[in-house]
Amino acid sequence: MQSALGTPMFMAPELYAEDCKYTKSVDMWALGVMYFHVLTGQYPYRCVSNPFQQLKALKKYKYKPLQGISNDSNQVLSRLLDIDPQKRITSFELKGHRIFKNYPYPPVKKSKKR
């Protein structure tokens, strides 16, 4: 993919890079921001309006475990909010994490053509 578009607070660090090369891992970053927000009512970092300053701030970001939430949630957040997209948890890995292990996923049905 070549261009970036989105809500700055949810945009992964790689979306701010000049070459803007990214994968599905940007969606996992956004999920991490949403999960953090659901658990705390806050965002994991401050958003600034200048893209260069935002990238600079995100490069320094390091997830710090939160008090008052489970170790599993902290582990998931640390993997979702990993600055390195190669180390970021995938949707497949997340579904297999013990926090979701016993969740009864419904079978996927093929949609009918209209």
Question: Cβ distance 40 to 74 under 8 Å?
Answer: no
Question: What pLDDT was estimated at residue 51?
Answer: 65
pLDDT tens sequence across 25-45: 999 999 999 999 999 998 888
Q: Decide if 113 is inside a domain.
A: no
pLDDT tens sequence across 60-72: 788 899 999 999 9
Question: What pLDDT was estimated at residue 107?
Answer: 66
Spatial distance between the Cα atoms of 53 and 38, rounded to a whole number of angstroms: 26
Q: Decide if 81 is inside a domain.
A: yes
Q: Decide if 22 is inside a domain.
A: yes
pLDDT tens sequence across 78-102: 999 999 999 999 998 998 888 877 7
- The tokens for 4 are 């970036």
pLDDT tens sequence across 1-18: 455 567 778 888 888 777
Note down the domain range covering 71.
Answer: 8-96
Question: What pLDDT was estimated at residue 3?
Answer: 59
Q: Decide if 109 is inside a domain.
A: no
Spatial distance between the Cα atoms of 34 and 42, rounded to a whole number of angstroms: 9
Number of domains observed in the structure of the chain? 1
Which CATH number belongs to the domain containing residue 14 in this structure? 1.10.510.10
Spatial distance between the Cα atoms of 13 and 84, rounded to a whole number of angstroms: 9
Nearest to 79 by CA among 28, 39, 38: 28
Cβ burial of 36 (10 Å; 0-12, 13-18, 19+) is: buried
Q: Decide if 1 is inside a domain.
A: no
